Amino acid sequence: MTCKKCGTLPTISPSAGEAFFNCSVEPLQAKLLVILKEEGQTARPEGDVIRVQVVSFQQLVACLSRRADLAEVESEGISLLFLEQGQQLDFSAFSRTKSLKKWFFLLNNREFLDIFENNSLTTWFQPIVSLPSHEIVAYECLSRGVKPDGSLMPPSLLFKLAEENDLLFYLDRLCRENALKTAAVKKVSVDIFINFIPTSIYVPETCLQSTLHWAQQLEYDPARVVFEVVETHQVSDLQHLRGILDYYRSKGFRTALDDIGSGHTNLATLAALGADLIKVDMEIIRGIDKDPVKQSIFGALAGIAKANNIKVLAEGVETCEELVYVKQNGAELAQGYLFAKPEAEPVRRVECCG
């Protein structure tokens, strides 16, 4: 498991050291001992733990992953920890303990792990324009993983793999920090929207420490940074989410809620969360100029937002007709392919209809 406070990253190290298998069920432990012996590993049991001297941890995991009979050992129920030579058996070491099944997955997804080990992320920018002027007033920062061959891993796959391997906190933090650094390098002088996943943040004061550090280090005016909640529909503890938003605001930052109107967000909670902006989901915006149902939903959202001093951003605008409708019915900001797609180099000016 990854340490949820410090974000310690499990790695598959090529170095020699010791591996520790933890299995409390005697028949399973006996089966694992037989497999290790057959694979040429020197192993000895010590209570619930099997201690193994290894030349290469990666080699050990690779040889075990090839054993079909490991299914009988229930690889998900056996945890594995590796210590390099001279490393202490402390909390930091235990934070890298994972099930055999997780280690096998990581070994077979080396490109994914390389992104973390080398901090290989890039940030792309999509402009956000004010209405009705179409002036660029902000950019949404969007993360991509950079694989060893230079090709990109899309965010949907990147975050899916991170969630499946208990690395969501680490990835989320890395993306926030990289967005701040890249925006500074690209000399972005307008506002920036930075995504965060609330379910990856446990204690805001601890989990958001490095993000705040980089914002201060890069001398960002907090009022220019909007932290945007993604996957709002997966948050069951609204009080916890409100606590995170309040923490950001206490530091001078602004907040936004994403995917509003997608069917997952209760309209009654919209005002309760107290965000500064809402981004109306692109599924509502798509073809809104000719869809009375979508117009009704947009009207309700715009009405609640106006009553609570919340700005409305129409997301996913692709046609002139969609733009005209949202502009005339409560949207103050807009974003979408009609203006520009996300690019590694920020677009500095947009021209469009409407």
Domain that holds residue 81: 17-108
Do both 318 and 170 map to the same domain? yes
Q: Give the count of domains, the chain.
A: 2
Q: Same domain for 76 and 140?
A: no
Q: Are residues 328 and 205 in the same domain?
A: yes
On whether residue 5 sits in a domain, the answer given is no
What confidence score (pLDDT) does residue 74 get?
80
Q: Is residue 151 part of a domain?
A: yes
Q: Say how many CA atoms lie within 13 Å of 294 toward its Cβ.
A: 17
Q: Answer whether residue 216 is part of any domain.
A: yes
Query: Which residues, at least 6 apart from 12, have a Cβ–Cβ distance to it below 8 Å?
Result: 57, 58, 61, 103, 106, 107, 110, 113
Residue of 242 and 335 predicted with greater confidence: 335
**pLDDT (tens digit, 9 = 90+) per residue, 86-126?**
777 766 566 668 888 888 877 777 788 788 778 899 999 99
Residues 231 and 291 in one domain: yes
Whether residues 183 and 214 fall in one domain: yes
The answer as to whether 53 is a domain residue is yes
Q: What is the CATH number of the domain that holds 155?
A: 3.20.20.450
The CATH number of residue 102's host domain is 3.30.70
Residues facing residue 279 across a β-bridge = 313
On the question of pLDDT at 39 being above 60, the answer is: yes
Question: Is the domain of 264 the same as that of 312?
Answer: yes
Q: Quick one: pLDDT at residue 124?
A: 97
Co-location of 129 and 67 in the same domain = no
The Cβ of residue 274 has, within 10 Å, a number of other Cβ atoms equal to 15
Taking residues 2-18, report their average pLDDT. Answer: 55
**Residue percentage of the chain with pLDDT more than 70:** 88
35 found inside a domain: yes
Quote the pLDDT of residue 125: 98
In a domain, 245, yes or no: yes
Query: What pLDDT does 59 receive?
Result: 83
**273 or 203, which is more confident?**
273
pLDDT score, position 8: 47
* Of the residues 72, 88, 108, the one at which a domain ends: 108
| pLDDT score at 285 | 97
Q: What is the pLDDT of residues 140-187, one digit of tens each?
A: 999 999 998 999 998 888 988 888 777 888 888 899 999 999 999 999
- pLDDT per residue as tens digits for the range 199-232: 777 677 776 888 888 888 888 899 999 999 886 5
Q: What's the rounded Cα separation, in Å, for the pair 23 and 19?
A: 13
Cβ-based neighbours of 3, under 8 Å, separated by 6 or more:
91, 92, 95
Q: How far apart (Å, rounded) are the C-alpha atoms in residues 21 and 185?
A: 45
> pLDDT tens across 292-322, in order?
999 999 999 999 899 989 999 999 999 999 9
Instruction: State whether 240 and 153 are in the same domain.
Output: yes
* Lowest model confidence (mean pLDDT) among 95-99, 330-334, 340-344: 95-99
In this structure, are 201 and 307 located in the same domain? Answer: yes
Please give the share of the chain, as a percent, with pLDDT higher than 90.
Answer: 42
Q: Which residue in this structure is represented by tokens 């949202």?
A: 326
- Note whether 227 and 303 are same-domain residues: yes
Q: Which residue has the higher pLDDT, 92 or 71?
A: 71
> Does 66 share its domain with 161?
no
Query: Strand 121-130 and strand 98-99: pairing?
Result: unpaired
pLDDT at 354: 62
Q: Between these two residues, 345 and 26, which has the higher pLDDT value? A: 345
Between 25 and 129, where is the model more confident?
129
Q: Is residue 172 part of a domain?
A: yes
Region 47-62: mean pLDDT is 86
Residue where a domain stops, chosen among 108, 130, 163: 108
